[in-house]
Structure 1
Amino acid sequence: MNILALDLGTSSVRGLVLDADATPRPGALARRKVRLRTGEDGTGTLDGRAYLACLVECLDELAAGGHLRDVELVAASAQWHSVLPLDAAGEPLGPVLTWMDTRPEPLPGAPGPVDPEAYHQRTGTWWHRCYWSVRLPWLRERAGAPIGRFVGLVEYVLGALLDEAPMSVSLASGTGLLDLRRLEWDVEACELAGVGPEQLPALAPRQWHGRLRPEHARRWPQLAGARWTAPVGDGAASNVGSGCVDASRAAVTVGTSAAVRLVQAVPAGGELPPLPGQLWRYRVDHEHVVTGAAYSSGGNLYAWATRNLRLPEGAELDAALARTARDLRVRADPRFGGDRPPGVAPAGSGELRGLSFGTTAVDLLAGLMTGLCRLVADDLTLLESGGDGPTEVVLGGGAMAGSAWWRAAFVDALAPRSVRYQRNPEVGATGAALVATGRVAAAADLAGIGRTDEPHAPNTVAGAPPG
């Protein structure tokens, strides 16, 4: 049996084929970049129709290469928090708001939760611009036509391909409208959002499976009999794909953005552990929760520096970073894209301090990368506060694959913890496949976790770019 794993991210759409053990098949990867529209006002949107076209192109490429043979299961890792208003016919009424969009704000006079702490413990979220409790009223005020219902980007694109596309409990938890224990839409959160269940996606039951619509089964006959499983939020999938599936091991993932997270086994209806006030909590699936903190900056810091600074390349950059580390003069606030919840700093909140006429472009890059390391270290301490002490940490993601120096900086910032590195760059897709096959616990023994000082970490998927 083969597994088709989709990674429906913010900067790209990827499809890759894994074997029954969730190991990527060499060369069986298709990738399309997507155009994220950003602006100084905090805009962060995607075009839903263009995104769907990118996914279709990936599937066409895999089919043309003969890679979809023997695929029996389709799993997906998908971005949390996105929202798209649809009209009565199911057509988009505008662009998709992604997690990067910092424009939404509560409407004047909106009351907020009656008991914010109870709300936080119940939904794992806050009354915040990142969540549908604030986003839906804000979108409704700006809609040029009546809104029939709201979906996430994932439900929109899968809804175009499958016989049905309910929202998984993992994706629903990222809306901020889900009761994490009862796994039902939270009454108070829905009241704040101004919606009833009829305007929200149906929730996928345990062990849900979908099938391609007939016209798409004719286009990709190799997938005609494949079962599509409920998508997993990208952060949760990355934890599983990094081998971090219990409270003894935390994942620090740096792709376009960054996050630090812990997974715990908490079945539906089970008592949720206390949640620290500065951390969020979402669902991996019906059996597990993930707790952590996220940051708008990650690999995009490196991309910004590459685009705007005259940096050296390759070994020359590595050597310059190593020299800079001995005398790190620049201190940075890396919040270029603003705060993720619960913070409310707007886009454009990044800062650089300690500049002089001797400051180099490499100094700026090192300051930014180290600034993110410090944020992660502080939040990891919060994550550990309910446990037995420091956890082991596994680094992962495309940005970690691309910079041995950044891995070493995390080792320093997270000391005295043991810090290791997951070499597989496709942790999201791998994690989604493991969740889909019911092997979350087995992920603790994943191969590929090794030392952080490997200068050129091998890519286990031939032709797969980092990030």
Structure 2
Amino acid sequence: MKRWPRLKNAKWLPAIGDGAAANLGSGCIGHQRAALTIGTTAAIRLLYRGKPPLTIPSGLFCYRYDSRFSLLGGALSDGGGIYGQIKKLCGISTDEKSLAREIMRRAAGRSGLIFLPFINGERSTGYNEFARGGVFGLTSATDAVDILTAAIEGIGFRLAAIADQIEEVFPLGQITGSGGAFCGSPAIRQVVADILGRDIRIAEDCDASLRGAALHAALTAGKIENIESVVKSPRSKVKSDARRHNGYKAARARHDRIYKIYSSNETNENLEKDIAENRY
């Protein structure tokens, strides 16, 4: 403190990861409260009181928030970032509400397109830094909204894979969503809810990581007693459509087959035939 005497009585607050901050900020604390974040990237995480599990599924990560709490989850390198890129690339300038209505008019997973959302490599569940994105099943009838919808579905299918692995450890309960893309796009909210087959509550503050960082600072500084005391219950939610969820089951199975072939680094001469035969 000889060098910076003015900081002699300052309180130093340890940094935390944005994942833990997102859970804090969206009020997702405990085994039964999962935080779904879709900003530029995407993730599903649990922040709970207890030790890390003895066995962590291969597609997930787990770390300590502090001596009492652990965070378990998985993340995608691409979330809302892909959504924005595809809109720009395809020249889609429709407002978000109108765009969502157009996407919802189309039957779930019926475009025949499979989109692997790995524009910036893959984190969960395969952790392949050399992975690249791809779209399969293009025809002369494919339009820009088909491609954008397939991109959202691809994100949803990868989030569903993360959710499945979390459920190997803890049953998923309430899910609360936050993030700029989640809050800003009705289409993303609805498609992801339909793919997961779960209602998703909307966080009171969509910038949950920022709120969570502030709460962490307040906790460390002794301004609040414990993190459970500041949990806010979301007021609104996105309701999953059971019929569309059923429609997405076959589409997800196709996505998973393409993903396994792609991630195995094997060539498959019948790949295009497989896509065509399993289109519907």
Instruction: Give the TM bin, normalised by the shorter chain.
Output: 0.7 to 0.9
Instruction: After TM superposition, give the deviation of residue 433 of structure 1 in Å.
Output: 2.1
Instruction: After TM superposition, give the deviation of residue 226 of structure 1 in Å.
Output: 6.1
Q: Which residue of 396, 405, 427 maps to 2:187?
A: 405
* Aligned: 1:262 with 2:41: no
CA 225–353 in structure 1, closer or farther in 2 if over 3 Å, else same: same
CA 213–334 in structure 1, closer or farther in 2 if over 3 Å, else same: farther
Q: Which residue of 368, 387, 391 maps to 2:151?
A: 368
CA 271–360 in structure 1, closer or farther in 2 if over 3 Å, else same: closer
CA 342–367 in structure 1, closer or farther in 2 if over 3 Å, else same: closer
Secondary structure of the residue aligned to 1:437 is helix
> Which residue in the other structure is 1:310 paired with?
91
Match for 1:441: what amino acid? E
Q: What TM-score, normalized by structure 1, do the two folds share?
A: 0.45
CA offsets 1:54-89 (integer angstroms, 9 cap, x no match): xxxxxxxxxxxxxxxxxxxxxxxxxxxxxxxxxxxx
- How far apart, in 2, do the equivalents of 1:418 and 1:323 lie? 20
Higher relative contact order (CA 8 A, sep 6+): 2
> Which residue in the other structure is 1:459 paired with?
none
Instruction: After TM superposition, give the deviation of residue 342 of structure 1 in Å.
Output: 6.3
Match for 2:183: what amino acid? A
**More helix per residue: 1 or 2?**
2
- How far apart, in 1, do the equivalents of 2:83 and 2:229 lie? 34
Instruction: After TM superposition, give the deviation of residue 341 of structure 1 in Å.
Output: 5.5
* Aligned: 1:330 with 2:116: no
Does structure 2 conserve the Cα–Cα contact (< 8 Å) formed by 1:401 and 1:423?
no
Identity value in percent: 29
Secondary structure of the residue aligned to 1:232 is coil
- How far apart, in 2, do the equivalents of 1:227 and 1:249 lie? 31
Does structure 2 conserve the Cα–Cα contact (< 8 Å) formed by 1:236 and 1:283?
no
Match for 1:451: what amino acid? K
- How far apart, in 2, do the equivalents of 1:249 and 1:385 lie? 16
Match for 1:399: what amino acid? A
Gaps of 5+ in 2: 220-225, 240-280
Instruction: After TM superposition, give the deviation of residue 214 of structure 1 in Å.
Output: 6.2
> Which residue in the other structure is 1:441 paired with?
228
> Which residue in the other structure is 1:354 paired with?
137
Secondary structure of the residue aligned to 1:312 is coil
> Who wins on radius of gyration, i.e. which is larger?
1
- How far apart, in 2, do the equivalents of 1:263 and 1:322 lie? 33
> Which residue in the other structure is 2:160 paired with?
377
Q: Which residue of 61, 76, 83 maps to 1:280?
A: 61
> Which residue in the other structure is 1:343 paired with?
126
Could you list the structure 1 runs, at least 4 aligned residues long, displaced by more than 4 angstroms after superposition.
Answer: 212-215, 270-273
Does structure 2 conserve the Cα–Cα contact (< 8 Å) formed by 1:424 and 1:448?
no
Does structure 1 conserve the Cα–Cα contact (< 8 Å) formed by 2:99 and 2:187?
no
- How far apart, in 1, do the equivalents of 2:166 and 2:127 lie? 21
**More strand per residue: 1 or 2?**
1
CA 358–248 in structure 1, closer or farther in 2 if over 3 Å, else same: same
Instruction: After TM superposition, give the deviation of residue 449 of structure 1 in Å.
Output: 4.4
Please provide the CA RMSD for this pair.
Answer: 2.6
Q: What TM-score, normalized by structure 2, do the two folds share?
A: 0.73
Does structure 2 conserve the Cα–Cα contact (< 8 Å) formed by 1:400 and 1:407?
yes
Does structure 2 conserve the Cα–Cα contact (< 8 Å) formed by 1:295 and 1:339?
yes
Does structure 1 conserve the Cα–Cα contact (< 8 Å) formed by 2:113 and 2:138?
yes
> Which residue in the other structure is 2:30 paired with?
246
CA 371–272 in structure 1, closer or farther in 2 if over 3 Å, else same: closer
Instruction: After TM superposition, give the deviation of residue 328 of structure 1 in Å.
Output: 3.6
Does structure 2 conserve the Cα–Cα contact (< 8 Å) formed by 1:324 and 1:366?
no
Alignment of 1:28-427 (within 5 A): 213=4, 227-266=11-50, 272-314=53-95, 315-326=97-108, 327-340=110-123, 343-347=126-130, 349-387=132-170, 389-415=171-197, 417-427=198-208
> Which residue in the other structure is 2:238 paired with?
452
Gaps of 5+ in 1: 1-162, 164-211, 218-223, 454-467
- How far apart, in 2, do the equivalents of 1:229 and 1:320 lie? 47
